[in-house]
Amino acid sequence: MMRMIGRHSAAIFVAAALSAGSAAAANYGPGVTDTEIKLGSTNPFSGPASAYGTIAKAASAYFDKVNAEQGGVNGRKIDFIMRDDGYSPPKTVEQARKLVEQDQVLAMFQNLGTPTNTAIVKYLNAKKVPHLFVATGASKWDQPDKYPWTTGWQPSYQTEAKVYAKYILENLPNAKIGILYQNDDYGKDYLEGFHEGLGDKAKDLIVAEVSYEVTDPTVDSQIISLKDSGADVFFNVTTPKFAAQAIRKAYDIGWHPTQFLNNVSTSKAAVIDPAGVEKAKGIISSYYLKDPTDPQWNDDPAVQAYREFMAQYYPDGDPADLFNIYGYAVAQLMVEVIRKCGDDLTRENLMKQALSVDHFEIATLLPGISVTTGPDDHAALEQLQLQQFDGKEWVLFGDIVGTE
Amino acid sequence: MELVLQQVLSGLATGGIYASVALAVVMIYQAIEHFNFAQGEMAMFSTYVAWSLIQIGMPYWVAFGLTLVISFIGGVLIERIVLRPLHRAPILSQIIAFIALFVIFNSVAGWIFTYTIKPFPSPFPEEPIFGTFISTHQVGVIGVTLVMLGILFVFFNFSRIGLAMRAAAQNPESSRLVGIPVGWMTALGWGLASAIGAVAGMMVAPIVFLEPNMMVGILLYGFAGALLGGVTSPTGAVVGGFLVGVIENLVGTFVPFIGTELKLTVALVIIVGVLTIKPSGLFGRPVVTRV
Amino acid sequence: MIRIAGLTRRQWAALALVLGLAVAFLLPMVVTDYRSFQFTLVIIYAIALMGLNLLTGYNGQISIGHGAFYAIGAYTAAIMMDRWEIAYYWTLPAAGVVCLVSGFLFGLPALRLEGLYLALATFALAVATPQILKYFDSWTGGVQGIVLFKPDPPFGLPLSQDQWLYYFSLAIALVMFWAAWNLIHSRIGRAIVAIRDHPIAAQTMGINAPLYKSMTFGVSALYTGVAGALGAIVVQFVAPDSFSVFLSISFLVGAVVGGLASFTGAIYGGLFVVFIPNISEEISQAAPWAIYGAFLLVFMYVMPSGIAGFLRRIGAWIARRNAS
């Protein structure tokens, strides 16, 4: 029965599209009406990766804000349907199909996770469903030939690793580098980018690589091994809990290398404070968003607006959590893309608009960083700003690095 | 050689965590002759209770004591309300109830307290007194674990109520005949296990930071430690916990083709290996089956 | 002979079977492709749960590690299809054999472990599975996993890919359930159950318990492995994250909630594994696991012997009322 309804409504769509052929004003893809646009997203709300679930919830809260304060985008309210996949790829496939085939969303937005998106990327591209601004730092989303319907959002892990590699080659040519990384796709992506960035020098400069599993209680043993390797540069590729442990442990055992910290864990509230600000002094990292817990942004209007937004539209969320400002920022990009579509809300046009963003500035991005995409550029953000922790706050230094 | 020493010390420090959790595992085993998969999550939740109490301005030790009381009552209530209706159900149904408790505590903690990691205070001084490779807190954890072990030993071997608990778990029918309230003994066991878990949680949190998934990995090591030492023996559980910590570090550091990527796997293989040779664990008493 | 509405219990069972088969056969004709896909997953999990049921339900050995065998089956299929370009249907027997052997080998040392210890040893296996998959990355594709192609229906059948996979999985499931039925109702099956109910008596009567237990472990792994291979084909993707310890736990949950030592129990379990998490998140996205946990508790209170056991009791109750 459902199947017949599906066909039936498809026929109506075609008929509607044909009859409205001359009046290009209302050209709608699935999930769009005069008053509503449906977007879908798969996220972990249950299971061990639940910490990431808040990104989509913050984005959803931003859409609520736009719906409430501006009556939606071009008069259409955004209906953002989130579904729980528990970070399990088979469940992601099931939920993504539900969103596309049953809920009939216009597009996917901010699906979270590398393995989970890998499980659905082929399906969505075969169905020609826009798969926009995925919440993962893997570099594979920027492959216009292979995945024409997929776009990334954050600067890729590899891009970031190369920034540090370049810095090391220029400033610490005789470094002895020790690396701690999480043994999964995210950790390995950093490792690969870092090796590429160092080029031929990699095998001379890197003296130790040790991994940990997310189930490990601590990384103490790994830090001891790294110290023992004689490394004087420490590349810390860890998620917040382990980053804080590693920074603290290194300091406590009297190991004081030059530290590079991946931007997954730059949060002052969630990493630096728990580790201890004095222990984190001198750490180099890079970022693209304003950290709402960093005192330097206390009076920044964008961060203040963010705090007000959190208090009003997402009171359950923790404003100190960087994931929330991340969701808040990417939702603004999505709204911009929909706005640019006007009344031509087909999947094709949505994709076209998503791939023609030109220097779009989001107030919570660091100064000088903006979003640019193109038909051959499916990566939204590719710029980073180096920063060093001075014992109190992150001090930005150097030029913006990366391509646009 | 120095590296070996450091890794052994660090293994003992981490092993202290495992040992304290293993003690809670043994405690519940004494009461119900089974493992409680929700034990780690209950401990995590207790730690959040302590954290909240400290947040509202309570001194550490007051919060500590109050958390023990709350956890004890909570454990008793869980047994009375959640598990009592299932006490005649097949053991697997009870295991499903444990899994239910696991997911409920995990999910509710994330919902109430969010997933941002939180620093948890240590009652021990910050200055390293015992050299740089083991923090004062880690030594403190080992000390607390040994004290708990001592208390448990006295409790189970010399107190009437402790002996009654053991009897109730091992032979409920006969215990009932001699007038032991078997149901309440089980509830008491849950309360005590919950309180010991709370201590373990509060000792673990300063090291690994407090977050809803804090105990998921650690509980596994706690099980491993308890099994290795023997689930019937508190001493065995503590020794087992330390052994697991040390084995894991040494395997991860010094066996090159295994490295850190497979250290948990190898630690588990060693444990299963030991169990196949000595099924009741290093210190456990063999299980006798009566026909 | 007790009759309800003129039919004996056996006749009722036959009627239910025919009706069930008819529904199963007609289902993809009346629902969307997405639903067909979802019910294909139900069938696949039912096969996996049947395997676990043979071990835990009929032989009394608790396993919290069957996700490992599901993973082995899935990777066997994925590697054969991706690397050697072997047709998908050939991967099922291969996955079955690989899992039969690995299950038997794992069962050998596990024999020394009783009850709780066995449960924990299998649990350890489940925990170690993702790590091991990542370690052998030249075979498994490491953390990136392996992406597969979806097979088209053969012989130009007028079916969508999803419908075809549904029928394909259904056919496999029917064959495997039939085989399990024959196994359980044979001499061997009676020995397997005797070991569960009276281990020592069974030994004294000359049943080679270690051999039977290892064999049961192997056969159980075979079922779960074939399900894993089907799962890989249907989902078109395998990665270490697909086989976390929570997969093993949801298998155990499915087997117990569905009903142990029951053929229909495996089907109810499959439905539970697929649909209850979805219902939970419909109720609350703030804490879906809390709702899921509440479901588990309610099911255990109302039906401590599983859905199948509950229905059996209702049937018996109706029969008694009719008799009196």
Mean pLDDT of A147-170: 92
Residue C18 lies in a domain: no
Is C285 close to A84, i.e. CB distance below 8 A? yes
- In contact, C213 and C118? CB cutoff 8 Å: no
- A283 and A166 within one domain: yes
- A279 and A310 within one domain: no
Q: Is C161 left (phi over 0), alpha (psi -120 to 50) or beta?
A: alpha
Which residue in A217, A252, A321 is closest to B135 by CB distance? A252
Q: What per-residue confidence (pLDDT) applies to A25?
A: 52
Instruction: State the smallest CA–CA distance between residue C123 and chain B in angstroms.
Output: 9
Residue B232's SS3 state is coil
Residue B262 lies in a domain: yes
Which residue in C62, C124, C293 is closest to B272 by CB distance? C124
The neighbouring-strand residues paired with A132 are A109
- Print burial letters for A277-300: b (CB count within 10 Å at least 16), e (below 16): eebbbebbbbbbbbbbbbeebeeb
Instruction: State the smallest CA–CA distance between residue A50 and chain C in angstroms.
Output: 10
Residue C73 lies in a domain: yes
Is C296 close to B100, i.e. CB distance below 8 A? yes
> pLDDT higher for A139 or C223?
C223
The identity of residue A377, as a single letter, is: D
Residue B284 lies in a domain: no
Which residue in A54, A211, A252 is closest to B132 by CB distance? A252
For residue A305, pLDDT beyond 90: yes
Which residue in chain C is spatially nearest to A95 when comparing CA positions? C278
Is C297 close to B93, i.e. CB distance below 8 A? no
Residue B283 lies in a domain: no
For residue A37, pLDDT beyond 90: yes
Is A253 close to B133, i.e. CB distance below 8 A? yes
Note whether B125 contacts A: Cβ–Cβ < 8 A.
Answer: no
From A243-252, A389-398, B258-267, the region with the lowest mean pLDDT: B258-267
Is B207 close to A240, i.e. CB distance below 8 A? no
Q: What per-residue confidence (pLDDT) applies to A403?
A: 63
Q: Is B81 left (phi over 0), alpha (psi -120 to 50) or beta?
A: alpha
| Ramachandran angles phi, psi of A87, nearest 5° | 60, 25
| CATH at A90 | 3.40.50.2300
> Between β-strands A344-345 and A27-28, what pairing exists: parallel, antiparallel or unpaired?
parallel
Q: What per-residue confidence (pLDDT) applies to B1?
A: 65
Residue B282 lies in a domain: no
pLDDT-based confidence at residue A272 (cuts at 50, 70, 90)? very high
From A100-104, A271-275, B276-280, C141-145, the region with the lowest mean pLDDT: B276-280
C-alpha to C-alpha distance for C270 and B257, rounded to whole angstroms:
40
Q: What per-residue confidence (pLDDT) applies to A337?
A: 94
Q: What per-residue confidence (pLDDT) applies to A24?
A: 47
Residue B289 lies in a domain: no
Residue B124 lies in a domain: no
Q: What per-residue confidence (pLDDT) applies to B195?
A: 93
- A114 and A235 within one domain: no
Residue range(s) defining the domain that contains residue C86: 33-151+159-323
Chains in touch with B (≥3 Cβ pairs < 8 A): A, C
Instruction: State the smallest CA–CA distance between residue A59 and chain C in angstroms.
Output: 14
Instruction: State the smallest CA–CA distance between residue C4 and chain B in angstroms.
Output: 29
The identity of residue A378, as a single letter, is: H
> pLDDT higher for A395 or B283?
A395
User: Across all residues in chain A, what is the average pLDDT?
Assistant: 88
| Ramachandran angles phi, psi of A16, nearest 5° | -60, -40
**3-state helix, strand and coil shares in percent for chain C, rounded to the nearest 5:** 80, 0, 15
Chains in touch with A (≥3 Cβ pairs < 8 A): B, C
Q: Testing the interface with B: which of C111, C133, C289 to mutate, by most B Cβ within 10 A? A: C289
Is A1 close to C30, i.e. CB distance below 8 A? yes
Q: What per-residue confidence (pLDDT) applies to B169?
A: 80
For residue A14, pLDDT beyond 60: no
- A235 and A132 within one domain: no
- In contact, C202 and C64? CB cutoff 8 Å: no
From A329-338, B54-63, C20-29, the region with the lowest mean pLDDT: C20-29
How many beta-carbon pairs below 8 A join chains A and B?
Answer: 105
| CATH at B266 | 1.10.3470
Q: What per-residue confidence (pLDDT) applies to B288?
A: 52
**Chain segment A204-228, per-residue pLDDT in tens:** 899 999 999 888 888 988 998 899 8
Is B3 close to A273, i.e. CB distance below 8 A? no
**Chain segment B182-210, per-residue pLDDT in tens:** 888 889 889 999 999 999 999 999 989 99
> pLDDT higher for B172 or C45?
C45
Instruction: State the smallest CA–CA distance between residue A373 and chain C in angstroms.
Output: 26
Assigned token pair, A275: 């580790």
Is A221 close to B211, i.e. CB distance below 8 A? no
From A152-166, A371-385, B18-32, the region with the lowest mean pLDDT: B18-32
Structural domains of chain A, count? 2
Structural domains of chain B, count? 1
Q: What per-residue confidence (pLDDT) applies to C137?
A: 80
Mean pLDDT of B108-129: 88
Mean pLDDT of A126-134: 93
Q: What per-residue confidence (pLDDT) applies to C224?
A: 96
C-alpha to C-alpha distance for A36 and C278, rounded to whole angstroms:
24
Residue range(s) defining the domain that contains residue B56: 2-116+129-277
For residue A26, pLDDT beyond 70: no
Assigned token pair, B49: 């209770």
Nearest CA-CA partner of A74 in A350, A360, A311: A350
Residue C9 lies in a domain: no
C-alpha to C-alpha distance for A316 and C35, rounded to whole angstroms:
34
DSSP-derived letter for residue A248 is: H
pTM of the model: 0.89
Q: Which residues of C touch A (CB under 8 A)?
A: 30-35, 37-38, 41, 127, 131, 134, 142-145, 147, 231, 235-237, 239-242, 244, 246-247, 274, 277, 280-281, 285-286, 288-289, 292
- A50 and A121 within one domain: yes
Q: Which residues of A touch B249 (CB under 8 A)?
A: 221
DSSP codes, A46-97: SSTTGGGHHHHHHHHHHHHHHHHHHSSBTTBEEEEEEEE-TT-HHHHHHHHH
For residue A133, pLDDT beyond 90: yes
Is B107 close to A240, i.e. CB distance below 8 A? no
Q: What per-residue confidence (pLDDT) applies to A42?
A: 95
Q: What per-residue confidence (pLDDT) applies to A195?
A: 94
**Tens-binned pLDDT, residue by residue, of chain C (324 aa):** 566 667 777 888 889 889 999 998 888 888 888 999 999 999 999 999 999 999 998 988 888 889 999 999 999 999 998 888 888 889 999 999 999 999 998 888 767 777 777 888 888 888 888 888 888 887 888 788 888 888 888 888 888 889 999 999 999 999 999 999 999 999 888 888 888 888 788 878 877 878 888 889 999 999 999 999 999 999 999 999 899 889 999 999 999 999 988 899 999 999 999 999 999 988 988 888 999 999 999 999 998 888 998 988 888 888 788 776
Residue B71 lies in a domain: yes
User: Across all residues in chain B, what is the average pLDDT?
Assistant: 86
> pLDDT higher for A47 or A386?
A386
Mean pLDDT of B84-107: 89
Structural domains of chain C, count? 1
Residue range(s) defining the domain that contains residue A63: 31-155+302-383
Instruction: State the smallest CA–CA distance between residue C128 and chain B in angstroms.
Output: 5
For residue A30, pLDDT beyond 70: yes
Mean pLDDT of A349-360: 91
For residue A244, pLDDT beyond 90: yes
> pLDDT higher for A93 or C157?
A93
Distance spanning both ends of chain C, measured CA to CA: 13
A125 CB-near residues (< 8 Å, 6+ apart) = A131, A147, A148, A149, A150
